[in-house]
Chains A and B, each alone.
Chain A
Amino acid sequence: MSQLAIELPGLMLKNPIMPASGCFGFGQEYSKFYDLSQLGAIIIKAATEQARFGNPTPRVAETTAGMLNAIGLQNPGVEKIITEELPRLANYNVPVIANVAGSTIEEYEAVTEALSKSNDIAAIELNISCPNVKQGGVQFGTDPALAAEVTRRVKAMSNVPVYVKLSPNVTNIVMIAKAVEDAGADGLTMINTLTGMQINLNTRRPVLANTIGGLSGPAIKPLAIRMIYQVRQEVSIPIIGMGGISTAEDVLEFLLAGASAVAIGTANFLNPFVCPEVITALPHVLEKYGFASVADAIGKGHEDAKLHLSRT
């Protein structure tokens, strides 16, 4: 196994770097900047059963070292994604993770069922944590019983491994993580955005048309690290970490906290080449801090922890 390769349920990753859902569309725009086969995997934009237009604009606002977004799950619907987007991605040597969203458990099931007929996806990211839609999404991610229920039902429908994307907008994320692990999740992705808001001083009105949005970017990285560290101590399934990553040093910090791979989101907007640049830089950073491989670094931030460390 090479220095950067890592194997997770359903995913043979040549490196642990993948663009995060919603920050990379369906890959076509960034394929003009570099060969997508360089990536460890791609998490595509959320799919719902029917096409969604999403929220009114403005949908984004910059904050200090971060940004707010309230796109509202705009997507062409799962069937169009399967027939138009997935075949284009099949031209690249890269596993595709489909992000499944919905307003009801039945919608999550329907999207999963449709995707299960496609041979073009390697895993599902179950989006129970989108803060930007009025119904569904985040409510499934903030109630352990609901989170477990939707995980169980989607697992039953899916013929690929299911990674559940956790919301940070909870009091106790470990409780949710345990609930979805017990419900059969193959892995976790964390964290989704934090709900936030910005008010324009001149207009005295929220900048986002949706009033609130999801905060992402370097501003949330310490929160993501803390949550992954806590969840790693209590849960055995692998974690794909995300939240403000923009450098190979950030990646190592997530590995130390207990992530087995990472997703890069907001940083793609600033630097379209951030993913390949981080992949190139990662071997040097691993060596600099004394690790032979990605696998060697996973969970190593826990060695002095007093609490028991679960296997990774």
Chain B
Amino acid sequence: MMKKFIIQVIKLYKIFISPILGKNCRFYPSCSDYMSLVIKKYGLLKGFQKGIWRILRCNSFNKGGIDLP
């Protein structure tokens, strides 16, 4: 239930907020897509941790590139 809600929130972010911010992510899939995927795969708690870790890695000191969950 909560899981579906969070994934829905991410979808709304992708439609309404993300376009204002422009393309910034150094990875494929993007951090927001990755967050949805890991929450689906590992559940809310562990997935969220993995998603946050991905965002922390998404900075100029990381090579970026393809990083699937």
- Judge: A and B partners, yes or no: no
